[in-house]
Amino acid sequence: MANPLTLLMPIIPGTSPLAIGAALAKYNAEINSALTSIGTVHYARFLLLDRSVPNLQPNLAPGAPASNELVLAVITEYDGSFQAYIGDFVAQIGDVFNALLQFVVGGAAVTPVQSNVAAFSAFVSANDASEHQPNEGLYSAYPQTVQQIIAAFDV
């Protein structure tokens, strides 16, 4: 059965949402390739949220004032253990996390993630809303793993 990860990382106040968007765009192909090669990820996405506005959508208009309420979210479902998943991420896209964590409150303390696997794992666990009340639990419409689904549908 799949396991949830809802990593919510507060952004350093004054950081431009455009800088975060540019970093995500720069690494998009690398992220997608790594997720495919890891082979345990059902789905994953990055979201940039702004807690200062009712709909949580950041203002990306040129010249818009920087928000001090930005949050970068990584929302994913994966097979296997949390530690194996974090190990796969560090091995496959550790440099991507190093680039993104420069914008995150507390990110400097866990980078480079390749040299700080235990600290990065603890950071992810502490900021994983899926593992804290009232957000525990996951509904899954199917019990198959990613590999079983790929094999069944010849993806």
* Total tally of structural domains belonging to the chain: 1
Rounded to an integer, what distance in angstroms lies between the CA atom of residue 123 and that of residue 120? 5
Positions of E strands within 1-152:
3-10, 41-50, 70-78
Rounded to an integer, what distance in angstroms lies between the CA atom of residue 37 and that of residue 35? 6
With left for phi above 0 and alpha for psi between -120 and 50, is residue 56 left, alpha or beta?
left
* pLDDT at residue number 139: 87
Predicted confidence band at 38 (pLDDT cuts at 50, 70, 90)? very high
For 90-112, b/e burial (b = at least 16 CB within 10 A) is bebbbebbbebbebbeebeebbe
* pLDDT at residue number 61: 85
Strands 41-50, 3-10: parallel, antiparallel or unpaired by DSSP?
unpaired
pLDDT digits (tens, 9 = 90+) for 46-69: 999 999 999 999 988 888 888 899
Range of the domain at 11: 3-153
* pLDDT at residue number 64: 80
